[in-house]
């Protein structure tokens, strides 16, 4: 018999293994297997909301496979659903396959390749070992566009494009599904004994592998399943996506203008290729319309920008695929001493950050939004990491599990490279330090988002909503809110934990109806400065530069030149990237390799990316088409170019030198 092993691919469209058994013309019996794997569920990153989302996808797929798909989505009581077509067990993968094989010999295993955390990597290796020793072929199909055993990063984009150009596997028709169902083995009826058989989805609340405090669900998360995923994508292409580019930065607008596909992509309810192919189709339609109409539409820019991000997805996942250890180790090893000295970790800071009680309203609102619904936009995620790793000086490894749990879309291949990039430990990216108060003022000027998630501050007037600690006592009294307890001081220097009345924060007292909100747990400016200085010191070391060069060779994005898409070598980069001034005093480490000693002083003083400045100066208008993609940097705002300025086609950096032949940020040749 054939076994289709479902993992993070709970959908019917663009599903090579299901397509093969339903439309491939062989008449072997088959089993469609899904496993709640104890060794994976006990990962510290797992949260009840992840399992609940997966359950919804499983039920949706089972209904489709069994031809009973009339009602969809949240109208179904997931935990009362009885699986018809999918054989589900609560047991390890290699163990279940072995047990199955002993009772009904397996002809072949069909599944999708997974790029995930170290434990799943170990699980896959164990399964492959078992397959080898038992002569059971295992076919792993690509669904992410990453290349396994990529020998050179130069080949990534061409491989990715080749993957996209392949025909999508046929989606089985109702008749083909009916024929397939006749060949499905009913393991219970045939007396096949499998450990941990589940007739209905398992409730995460009952899963012993998950710590009790992580078993609950999130009240306002997105609902899982292919039906919801396709609906979400349709609404994005029909109307929500028009303002994708302009709405991407604010947590208020990105809520609707963003695609919101990330959890569906992570758990495989929609495929990357399906999304790209269909958004390109829409793009072509719009281009055709544009030829006959002169009215400007934001759509084309938005779709180009969206497709770049879809490409980023695989670009980041490739990093983890090529180097699984980056889940635990700094990409650039010279940073490994940073934030790991005996007194660097402060439990109080960590707790305050995790719970959204840092005294910085915008940071707290973002974290509480995640806790409530499991999603927030890119910029806010980056800001949360920047605040934790720079202002609170927390090790990215300490914060990664909490973030993984609050992200419904937790995708290790994006998560770890992004965390490291925001924490400044990759060696090849500019330092990204967010001014959180300014971000709040820019992205949520009247505090709508803050008031929604930090109700203690809902009565606070607009002028104080971003800095409530500046409210005079009389105003606090008038608006019935108390900030801090009066004797806490912003004593970030030296990193002593503050004696803060955090426990009293965000509770309403019965007798007075006064809200408490903490005062800031650190001084924003001085904590940023100290952290930047420490990072800069490491970045300047010769050993860092040497290691960063290796990181670039292995993971850095490449550019298109002539017919050779990924042709630029660091050598070319080095010779052209002479100057490294970025906006108001920022540098890219890559380009800083080649400073003259004279330049070096100036550059190292400016060795920080002020994200706020950067964001407003980078033009999305210039974002490259997907095939030319190669930037790690989000580029969200439209800007006016000053005379002589030009925007790099590759990284979108705004260059000031009108005659420069190469971008001073990434070194790529001007196009």
Ligand X SMILES: Cc1cc2nc3c(=O)[nH]c(=O)nc-3n(C[C@H](O)[C@H](O)[C@H](O)COP(=O)(O)OP(=O)(O)OC[C@H]3O[C@@H](n4cnc5c(N)ncnc54)[C@H](O)[C@@H]3O)c2cc1C
CA 43 to chain centre: 18
List alpha helices for 184-251, DSSP H: 226-238, 244-247
| Region of 260 on the Ramachandran plot (φ > 0 left; ψ -120 to 50 alpha; else beta) | left
Helix axes 156-165, 272-292, angle to 10 degrees: 80
Query: Is residue 145 a contact point for ligand X (CB under 6 A)?
Result: no
Minimum CB separation of residue 341 from ligand X in Å reads 23
Minimum CB separation of residue 46 from ligand X in Å reads 13
Query: Is residue 368 a contact point for ligand X (CB under 6 A)?
Result: no
Binding letters toward ligand X, positions 587-626, x by CB under 6 A: ----------------------------------------
| Stretch touching ligand X by CB under 6 A, among 203-211, 348-356, 418-426, 551-559 | 418-426
Query: Is residue 228 a contact point for ligand X (CB under 6 A)?
Result: no
Quote the Cα angle for 540-542-543, to 5°. Answer: 110
List alpha helices for 66-117, DSSP H: 93-103
Q: What are phi and psi of 570, to 5 degrees?
A: -55, -25
Query: Is residue 316 a contact point for ligand X (CB under 6 A)?
Result: yes
User: Which one, 410 or 595, has the nearer CB to ligand X?
Assistant: 410
User: Which one, 264 or 515, has the nearer CB to ligand X?
Assistant: 264
Tell me if 306 is assigned to a ligand binding site.
yes
**DSSP label at 169?**
P
Minimum CB separation of residue 4 from ligand X in Å reads 25
Taking CB under 6 A as the criterion, which residues in 469-488 touch ligand X?
Answer: none
CB 443 within 8 A of CB 379: yes
User: Which one, 382 or 531, has the nearer CB to ligand X?
Assistant: 382
Cα–Cα distance, 165 to 628 (Å, whole number): 15
User: Which one, 316 or 552, has the nearer CB to ligand X?
Assistant: 316
Q: What are phi and psi of 268, to 5 degrees?
A: 80, 25
User: Which one, 45 or 108, has the nearer CB to ligand X?
Assistant: 45
| Stretch touching ligand X by CB under 6 A, among 75-83, 411-419, 596-604, 662-670 | 411-419
User: Which one, 258 or 447, has the nearer CB to ligand X?
Assistant: 258
Minimum CB separation of residue 149 from ligand X in Å reads 22
Cα–Cα distance, 367 to 385 (Å, whole number): 11
CB 469 within 8 A of CB 359: yes
Taking CB under 6 A as the criterion, which residues in 419-438 touch ligand X?
Answer: 419, 422
Beta bridge partners of 482: 516
Minimum CB separation of residue 312 from ligand X in Å reads 4
| Structure-block tokens of residue 533 | 């200085």
**DSSP label at 344?**
T
Cα–Cα distance, 412 to 481 (Å, whole number): 40
Query: Is residue 410 a contact point for ligand X (CB under 6 A)?
Result: yes
Query: Is residue 418 a contact point for ligand X (CB under 6 A)?
Result: yes
| Stretch touching ligand X by CB under 6 A, among 68-76, 381-389, 562-570, 585-593 | 381-389
Query: Is residue 400 a contact point for ligand X (CB under 6 A)?
Result: no
CB 65 within 8 A of CB 85: yes
Query: Is residue 409 a contact point for ligand X (CB under 6 A)?
Result: yes
Minimum CB separation of residue 634 from ligand X in Å reads 6
Q: Which residues of 288-324 are buried (b: 16+ CB within 10 A; e: fewer)?
A: eeeeeeeeeebbbbbbbbbbbbbbbbbbbbbbbbbbb
Query: Is residue 414 a contact point for ligand X (CB under 6 A)?
Result: yes
Query: Is residue 647 a contact point for ligand X (CB under 6 A)?
Result: no
User: Which one, 442 or 645, has the nearer CB to ligand X?
Assistant: 442
| Structure-block tokens of residue 74 | 């949240």
Minimum CB separation of residue 435 from ligand X in Å reads 16
Query: Is residue 378 a contact point for ligand X (CB under 6 A)?
Result: yes
Q: Which residues of 509-536 are buried (b: 16+ CB within 10 A; e: fewer)?
A: eeeeeebbbbbbbbbbeebbebbbebbb
CA 429 to chain centre: 17
Query: Is residue 321 a contact point for ligand X (CB under 6 A)?
Result: no
User: Which one, 316 or 593, has the nearer CB to ligand X?
Assistant: 316
CB 262 within 8 A of CB 271: no
| Region of 356 on the Ramachandran plot (φ > 0 left; ψ -120 to 50 alpha; else beta) | left
CB 97 within 8 A of CB 3: yes
Query: Is residue 415 a contact point for ligand X (CB under 6 A)?
Result: yes
Taking CB under 6 A as the criterion, which residues in 256-315 touch ligand X?
Answer: 258-262, 265-266, 306, 309-310, 312-313
CB 588 within 8 A of CB 606: no
Minimum CB separation of residue 421 from ligand X in Å reads 8
Residue 142: how many other CB atoms lie within 10 Å = 17
Closest alpha carbon to 84 in 223, 220, 241, 200:
200
Query: Is residue 377 a contact point for ligand X (CB under 6 A)?
Result: yes
Query: Is residue 52 a contact point for ligand X (CB under 6 A)?
Result: no
Minimum CB separation of residue 77 from ligand X in Å reads 28
Minimum CB separation of residue 375 from ligand X in Å reads 7
Residue selected from 381, 545, 555, 606 as contacting ligand X according to rule CB under 6 A = 381
Minimum CB separation of residue 418 from ligand X in Å reads 4
Tell me if 233 is assigned to a ligand binding site.
no
| Structure-block tokens of residue 669 | 């040749």
Residue selected from 9, 43, 327, 411 as contacting ligand X according to rule CB under 6 A = 411
CA 473 to chain centre: 41
User: Which one, 112 or 415, has the nearer CB to ligand X?
Assistant: 415
User: Which one, 259 or 476, has the nearer CB to ligand X?
Assistant: 259
List, in sequence order, every beta strand (DSSP E) within 405-465.
432-433
User: Which one, 210 or 403, has the nearer CB to ligand X?
Assistant: 403
Query: Is residue 360 a contact point for ligand X (CB under 6 A)?
Result: no
Beta bridge partners of 483: 517
Residue selected from 407, 517, 646, 653 as contacting ligand X according to rule CB under 6 A = 407
User: Which one, 261 or 338, has the nearer CB to ligand X?
Assistant: 261
> Which CA distances in Å does 552 have to 478, 484, 525?
56, 45, 31
Binding site: what residues are annotated?
244, 306
Binding site for FAD: what residues are annotated?
244, 306
> Interface residues with ligand X (CB under 6 A)?
258-262, 265-266, 306, 309-310, 312-313, 316, 377-378, 381-382, 385, 407, 409-411, 414-415, 418-419, 422, 634
């Amino acid at each position: 018999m054939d076994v289709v092993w479902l993992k993070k691919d709970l959908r019917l469209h663009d599903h090579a293994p299901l397509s093969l058994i339903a439309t491939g013309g062989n008449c072997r019996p088959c089993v469609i297997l899904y496993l709640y794997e104890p060794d994976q569920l006990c990962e510290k990153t797992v949260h009840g909301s992840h399992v609940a989302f997966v359950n919804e996808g499983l039920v949706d797929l089972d209904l489709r496979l069994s031809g009973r798909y009339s009602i969809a989505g949240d109208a179904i009581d997931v935990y009362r659903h009885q699986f018809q077509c999918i054989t589900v067990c609560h047991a390890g993968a290699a163990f279940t396959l072995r047990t199955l094989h002993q009772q009904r010999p397996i002809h072949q295993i069909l599944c999708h390749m997974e790029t995930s955390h170290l434990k799943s990597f170990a699980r896959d290796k164990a399964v492959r070992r078992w397959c080898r020793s038992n002569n059971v072929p295992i076919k792993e199909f690509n669904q992410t566009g990453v290349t396994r055993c990529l020998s050179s990063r130069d080949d990534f984009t061409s491989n990715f494009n080749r993957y996209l150009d392949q025909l999508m596997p046929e989606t089985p028709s109702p008749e083909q599904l009916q024929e397939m169902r006749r060949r499905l083995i009913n393991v219970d009826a045939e007396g096949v004994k499998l450990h941990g058989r589940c007739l209905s989805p398992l409730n995460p609340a009952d899963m012993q592998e998950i710590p009790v405090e992580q078993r609950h669900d999130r009240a306002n998360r997105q609902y899982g399943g292919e039906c919801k995923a396709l609906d979400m994508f349709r609404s994005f292409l029909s109307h929500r996506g028009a303002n994708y580019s302009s709405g991407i930065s604010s947590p208020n607008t990105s809520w609707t203008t963003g695609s919101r596909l990330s959890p569906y992509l992570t758990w495989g309810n929609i495929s990357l290729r399906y999304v790209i192919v269909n958004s390109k189709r829409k793009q072509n339609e719009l281009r055709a319309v544009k030829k006959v109409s002169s009215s400007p539409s934001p759509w084309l820019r938005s779709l180009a920008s969206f497709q770049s991000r879809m490409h980023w997805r695989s670009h980041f996942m490739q990093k983890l695929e090529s180097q699984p250890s980056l889940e635990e180790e700094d990409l650039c090893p010279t940073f490994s001493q940073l934030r790991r000295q005996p007194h660097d970790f402060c439990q109080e800071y960590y707790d305050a950050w995790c719970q959204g009680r840092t005294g910085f309203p915008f940071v707290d609102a973002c974290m509480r939004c995640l806790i409530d619904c499991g999603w927030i936009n890119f910029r806010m995620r980056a800001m949360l990491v920047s605040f934790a790793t720079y202002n609170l000086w927390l090790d990215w490894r300490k914060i990664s599990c909490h973030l993984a749990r609050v992200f419904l879309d937790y995708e290790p291949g994006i998560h770890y490279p992004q965390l490291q990039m925001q924490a400044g430990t990759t060696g090849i990216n500019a330092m990204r330090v967010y001014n959180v108060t300014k971000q709040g003022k820019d992205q949520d000027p009247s505090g709508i988002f803050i008031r929604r998630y930090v109700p203690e501050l809902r009565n606070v007037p607009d002028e104080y909503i971003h800095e409530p600690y500046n409210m005079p006592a009389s105003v606090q009294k008038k608006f019935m809110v108390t900030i801090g307890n009066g004797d806490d001081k912003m004593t970030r220097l030296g990193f002593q934990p503050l004696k803060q009345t955090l426990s009293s924060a965000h509770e309403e007292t019965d007798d007075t109806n006064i809200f408490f909100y903490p005062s800031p747990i650190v001084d924003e400016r001085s904590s940023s400065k100290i952290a930047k200085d420490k990072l800069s010191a490491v970045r300047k070391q010769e050993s860092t530069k040497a290691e960063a060069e290796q990181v670039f060779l292995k993971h850095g994005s490449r550019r298109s030149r002539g017919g050779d898409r990924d042709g630029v070598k660091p050598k070319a980069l080095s010779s052209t990237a002479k100057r490294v001034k970025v906006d108001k005093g920022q540098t890219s480490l890559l380009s800083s390799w080649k400073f003259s000693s004279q330049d070096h002083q100036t550059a190292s003083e400016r060795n920080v990316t002020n994200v706020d400045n950067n964001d407003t100066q980078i033009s999305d208008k210039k974002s490259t088409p997907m095939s030319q993609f190669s930037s790690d940097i989000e580029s969200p705002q439209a800007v006016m170019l000053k005379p002589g300025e030009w925007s790099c086609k590759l990284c979108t950096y705004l260059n000031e030198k009108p005659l420069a032949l190469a971008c001073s940020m990434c070194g790529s040749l001007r196009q």
